Amino acid sequence: MKNALLEVTGLSKHYPVKRGLVLSKTVGMVKAVDGVSFHLMRGETLALVGESGCGKSTTARLVLRLIEPTAGSVFFEGVDITDMAGQPLRALRRRMQIVFQDPFASLNPRMTVGAILEEPLIVHEIGDSESRKARVNELLGLVGLAPYHASRYPHEFSGGQRQRIGIARALAVEPSLVVCDEPVSALDVSIQAQVVNLLKDLQARLGLSYLFIAHDLAVVKHMADRVAVMYLGRIVEIAAKDTLFARPIHPYTRTLLQAIPRPDPHRKLARQIAGGDVPSPLNPPTGCHFHTRCTFATDICRTADPALREVAPGHATACHHAEALPLLDLTESAHAAAPNAAKRLALYAEKRVTATAAAG
């Protein structure tokens, strides 16, 4: 797409499965990522969602060239980086950074926070000693930490503070793309909100683009501009956030959205939860990979592989029956009776009025 910061086309990663110790031979291929295509505009947040093992993190690592793709291409700022190597690839890494899921495992416990933040500046030969120290203090302030934190070690911080340090490290070399690989899943709920708000604030101030990977759809709804839903290594639906949450089309997307817990136990919602287990990526089903768990599956779903196609402007899905599926109403039906707490309050108020009248 024209003027896209990142454009991914037909990206795949297949891992060979071998058998035998001496004369090992390949007996199968695990298709961790299988023909993924998407784009990311400047200043945009694209969320990748799906069940564990669907290929979200592998896709992120392929985009960053941390692992080599089996097929497909990755264009970053209009340049094909799929086969880039050596010094050009090293220079490119200044423009693409990552925030890892576990903020403790991703920080070197033997280094102080100041040394951790200064390391990428040293690697890319940015500034001298004094300017790097000033940059470290600037980064700490940017993520809500103080300059004196630079002399401490990672184990002296809370989980939320460690993730702030990870974000500061990613921003040290002034990237334009930041991959957030489940950055809040290991944090408490209150800390999650702080980190998410920090990421949004930094995006507005620095013009960052995020490839945001998450399981929590509530976080995705707050963070994302567009959402791509993955299942067994493929994108099955991609659309603007508001469109996807209001009118999901693919049966798997519907399953994900209906699985969101509702805070009010008195509200009723008819759910269409997919049955069965996720098939093995070593031996995925023929045709549509989701047909073994889909209530709308027909013979064509079992034999023909559906292409990801646009069914409305900016809304694409990989489903043979996208236009024929009934609309999904995600609004919760209001219950006729008031909640018990409201009933008790009303009864208390009634008794209080009666007692006041009797006393008068």
Task: Return mean pLDDT, the chain.
Answer: 87
Mind giving me the DSSP string for 259-280?
A: TSPPS-TT-B----PPPS-PPP
Cβ neighbours, 10 Å, residue 350: 10
- Within 8 A by CB and 6+ apart from 189, the residues are none
Span 189-204, pLDDT tens digits? 878 888 889 999 999 9
- Encoding tokens for residue 251? 């049966």
Task: Give the separation between CA 236 and CA 318, rounded to whole angstroms.
Answer: 5
The token duo for 176 is 């334009």
Single-letter amino acid, residue 89? L
Tokens of 344: 């008790």
Burial bucket for residue 36 (CB in 10 Å: 0-12, 13-18, 19+)? buried
Q: What is the CATH code for 1-95+207-360? A: 3.40.50.300
pLDDT score recorded for residue 346: 53
The whole-number average pLDDT for the span 73-78 is 94
pLDDT band at 70 (very low <50, low <70, confident <90, very high): very high
Asked if residues 270 and 347 have their Cβ atoms less than 8 Å apart, the reply is: no
Cα distances from 286 to residues 51, 300, 305, in angstroms, run 20, 10, 7
> Which has more pLDDT, 272 or 211?
211
Q: Where are the domains of the chain?
A: 1-95+207-360
CA distance 92 to 216: 31
For residues 77-92, average pLDDT: 91
Residue 109 is classified by DSSP as T
Secondary structure (3-state) at 194: helix
E-assigned strand segments in the chain: 4-19, 25-41, 45-49, 71-76, 79-80, 96-99, 177-181, 209-213, 226-231, 234-240, 309-312, 315-317
Question: What's the pLDDT at 187?
Answer: 82
| Strand-strand pairing, 309-312 and 234-240 | unpaired
The whole-number pLDDT of residue 279 equals 84
State residue 355's pLDDT score.
57
Per-residue pLDDT tens for 138-172? 999 999 999 999 999 999 999 899 999 999 999 99
Residue 277 confidence (pLDDT): 73
Q: What is the pLDDT of residues 297-355, one digit of tens each?
A: 999 999 999 999 999 999 999 999 999 888 876 654 333 334 444 454 455 456 555 65
